[in-house]
Structure 1
Amino acid sequence: MVSRRSFLHQSWVSPLFLFVVVVALAASSADGSRTPRVPCYFIFGDSLYDSGNNNNLNTLAKVNYSPYGIDLPAGPTGRFSNGQTTADAIAIDFFFFFGYEGEILGFKDFIPPFASNPDDRQILVGVNYASGSAGILVESGKQGGDNVDLSQQLRNHEVTVSRIVEILGSKVAAFEYLGQCLYICNSGNNDYINNYILPQSTAIRNQYNPDQFAALLITQYSAQINRLYELGARKVALAGISNIGCTPSLIATLGTNGAPCVNSVNQLVVPFNTRLKSLISQLKLSYPDAKFAYLDSVRVGTLVGAVFRFAAFRIRATPCCQVSTVTGLCLPNTVPCSRRPSYLFWDAFHPTELANQLAAPLFFPAIQRIL
């Protein structure tokens, strides 16, 4: 029997084996009879995790319309996918393989977005603060309208923490409770996609070379994560930036010179991931009473792509829906592709639900080590 700690973390696991192991994830979720691994789950980041925080903002980066959410019972909710995000799948999904059951967190329901004004019962289970187009820097993504940048997400979390203090009766009780929760953040993508590599961003590129820009981001990110610790977080998972040069939008815009992806863009974010790993090492030393994990988005993204290539369906790297040439998002009320499991990307930037569901258990070993 493979242990929970080692499952999906072995170097010998082949893409085909991974597909066999996690394919059940696409059709299954926790049945509510399990006790969640943690009492609450707080989510920060960008459109990869957003579950509706942008719905009422004045922005192009919102997707509370069809065909988004076509595979969710609730329909369009503001998720930038046809169904679940990776953060959703981490919350509720589990995988099954020859008698081995490996739940992720085991929650019965999705974590509500902050913008939905969750009630006292809901916030004790967790809140999703993620916002489409948002980044570590305040200015990132603002060319398309409003978003909730990471610093504002933390201020929103301060409101939640204050409410939990009131609910539980004291700051001591609240922080003891919050210290048992999982905090996950996926940020930094838009600081590149919707800031540094924009054609109009020549000033910031002239001011900072790629390594200097990564240093700028990590300095700000460090202050933000330190603030999260001050607010009671003790189990924190930070996702690196994935190979954003493999998104349909950047491939169409920049070209690949015959390569599968825009390699120059993928190399651009390497300094950020390297510095993020160092930051996590520093945080572990600074806060021995807390646990921090690095979620290797490049490795997981590569494995998910390999699963698609080895699976029985044809792999498509083009969007599943008709996309806007301005935003790269699905055009409202259009009919998407019918064979969604054969598409890695839902629109020009975001993965399909199946890709997200396959990614979730691959992040599981790193998450489990801090629970």
Structure 2
Amino acid sequence: MESYLRKWCLISMLVLFLSLGFLVKAEPQVPCYFIFGDSLVDNGNNNGLASMARADYFPYGIDMGGPTGRFSNGKTTVDEIAELLGFDNYIPAYSAAPGQQILRGVNYASAAAGIREESGQQLGQRITFSGQVQNHKNTVSQVVQILGDENSAADYLSKCIYSISLGSNDYLNNYFMPQYYSTSRRYNPEQYAADLIRLYLDQLKVLYSYGARKFALGGIGAIGCSPNALAQGSLNGRTCVERINSANRIFNNRLKSLVQQLNNNYHDAKFTYLNAYGVFQDIITNPANYGFRVTNAACCGVGRNGGQLTCLPGQPPCLNRDEYVFWDAFHPSDAANTIIGRRSYKAESTLDVYPIDISTLAQL
């Protein structure tokens, strides 16, 4: 009887141990994830700004429990990547990041922000790329205080991933808006892209000086295929606007070349290019492969195919949201964001990233 009880106790303890083991969640693949960008990845930083570029109202966030400031019905690409990296929660907005939670990362993205200081200014307040980098400097100071010294902070930050997705507004809300901006009269597309990359590099150097060592640089998507571009510049409402996409490809090619240059020059850091344009073109060209039915219209919005304006407050969106590539006039749906995020994290094609995907970057 005593032998039986001893055996029963041992089995019970083993079962309890294994059960507790299954409840323990693994640490994320990197200690923190820092995000810089525009409305494609903003998760609430614009909520308190005097700006027309805000998404803190219904129907935005309809599939995420309510509006959060994300320009989507649900997740953004960086939300998907954060999940795949193993984080318990999405990375908090800088405007709301509490205390020691910044050690897991911060999202600095701001809708309407650009690489150039003036981009998006007709929409009101926004936090430009340089402003986001300045906010990161403040975060670094807090990390130093929490960890106790600069060396510990530098070692910690060197293991984190820095995601940057900017440039769309430098075209959408600058270069291709001649009624507000003079850039298209001062620069041809090649010159404009070169100047953007020059300014972009300046901010990368600042981030590097503050400890960043793992960079994921997102290219511009196919802006000429958005419902807004189709409503404004497509004769049949379906064919992507090539003059916009052509300019975007010039920027992307220069950004990809910059990644190669930086990898050659900074041997203690790693840079990779995320080909959002290529993945998005694949989705637009082969929608059925991904379960999409509508590629040229927004799930909610105003005007031709919902392309004139973003979703209006209280406007009921379409019911079959997973069948739409675009959520509103400019932004992909949760379903499209999920695909782009997954292929940035784990490339399905050699064209998705250069030279490595985020899952590989995390392991370095």
- Partner of residue 78, structure 2: 87
Aligned alpha-carbon RMSD (Å): 1.8
Q: Does 1:38 align with 2:17?
A: no
- Partner of residue 183, structure 2: 204
Q: 2:324 aligns with which of 343, 348, 354?
A: 343
Structure 1 residues 202 and 47: alpha-carbon distance in aligned structure 2, compared to 1, 3 A threshold: closer
1:13-59 deviation line (CA, Å, top 9, x unaligned) = xxxxxxxxxxxxxxxxxx98232110100000000000000001011
Structure 1 spans left out of the alignment, 5+ residues: 1-30, 93-103
Structure 1 residues 198 and 32: alpha-carbon distance in aligned structure 2, compared to 1, 3 A threshold: farther
Aligned length: 328
Q: Distance in 2 between matches of 1:55 and 1:327?
A: 22
Q: Structure 2 length normalisation: TM-score?
A: 0.86
- Partner of residue 263, structure 1: 242
- Partner of residue 5, structure 2: none
Q: Distance in 2 between matches of 1:132 and 1:138?
A: 13
- Partner of residue 115, structure 1: 95
Q: Distance in 1 between matches of 2:55 and 2:98?
A: 24
Considering only CA atoms, is the larger Rg found in Structure 1 or Structure 2? Answer: 2
- Partner of residue 293, structure 1: 272
Q: Distance in 2 between matches of 1:240 and 1:72?
A: 26
Q: Distance in 2 between matches of 1:205 and 1:105?
A: 40
Q: Distance in 2 between matches of 1:32 and 1:58?
A: 43
Q: Structure 1 length normalisation: TM-score?
A: 0.85
Q: Does 1:52 align with 2:44?
A: yes
Q: Distance in 1 between matches of 2:291 and 2:203?
A: 43
Q: Does 1:236 align with 2:215?
A: yes
Q: Distance in 1 between matches of 2:288 and 2:309?
A: 24
- Partner of residue 282, structure 2: 303
Q: Retained in 1: the 8 A contact 2:31–2:159?
A: yes
Q: Retained in 2: the 8 A contact 1:256–1:263?
A: no
Q: Distance in 2 between matches of 1:199 and 1:264?
A: 14
1:152-187 deviation line (CA, Å, top 9, x unaligned) = 000000000000000000010001000000110100
1:58-110 deviation line (CA, Å, top 9, x unaligned) = 1100010000000003x100000000000111001xxxxxxxxxxx2011101
- Partner of residue 353, structure 1: 334
* Counterpart AA for 2:256: K
Q: Does 1:176 align with 2:155?
A: yes
Q: Secondary structure at the match of 1:370?
A: helix
1:64-103 mapped onto 2 (5 Å cutoff): 64-73=56-65, 75-92=66-83
Structure 1 residues 278 and 339: alpha-carbon distance in aligned structure 2, compared to 1, 3 A threshold: same
Q: 1:137 aligns with which of 116, 131, 141?
A: 116
Q: Does 1:320 align with 2:311?
A: no
Q: Larger relative CO (CA 8 A, sep 6+): 1 or 2? A: 1
- Partner of residue 277, structure 1: 256
Q: Secondary structure at the match of 1:269?
A: helix
1:123-159 deviation line (CA, Å, top 9, x unaligned) = 0000000000100001000111010000000000000
Deviating beyond 6 angstroms after TM superposition, the runs of 4 or more aligned structure 1 residues are 324-327
- Partner of residue 331, structure 1: 312
Q: Does 1:63 align with 2:49?
A: no
Higher percent of residues as helix: 2
Q: Retained in 1: the 8 A contact 2:229–2:307?
A: no
Q: Retained in 2: the 8 A contact 1:341–1:354?
A: yes
Q: Distance in 1 between matches of 2:172 and 2:256?
A: 21
Q: Distance in 2 between matches of 1:326 and 1:295?
A: 26
Q: Distance in 1 between matches of 2:212 and 2:310?
A: 34
Q: CA deviation at 1:203?
A: 2.5
- Partner of residue 106, structure 1: 86
Q: Distance in 1 between matches of 2:235 and 2:262?
A: 37
Structure 2 spans left out of the alignment, 5+ residues: 1-22, 347-356
Q: Secondary structure at the match of 2:182?
A: helix
Q: Does 1:219 align with 2:198?
A: yes
Q: Distance in 1 between matches of 2:181 and 2:143?
A: 44
Q: Distance in 2 between matches of 1:132 and 1:162?
A: 25
Q: Does 1:250 align with 2:241?
A: no
Structure 1 residues 288 and 256: alpha-carbon distance in aligned structure 2, compared to 1, 3 A threshold: farther
Q: CA deviation at 1:306?
A: 4.8
* Counterpart AA for 1:54: N
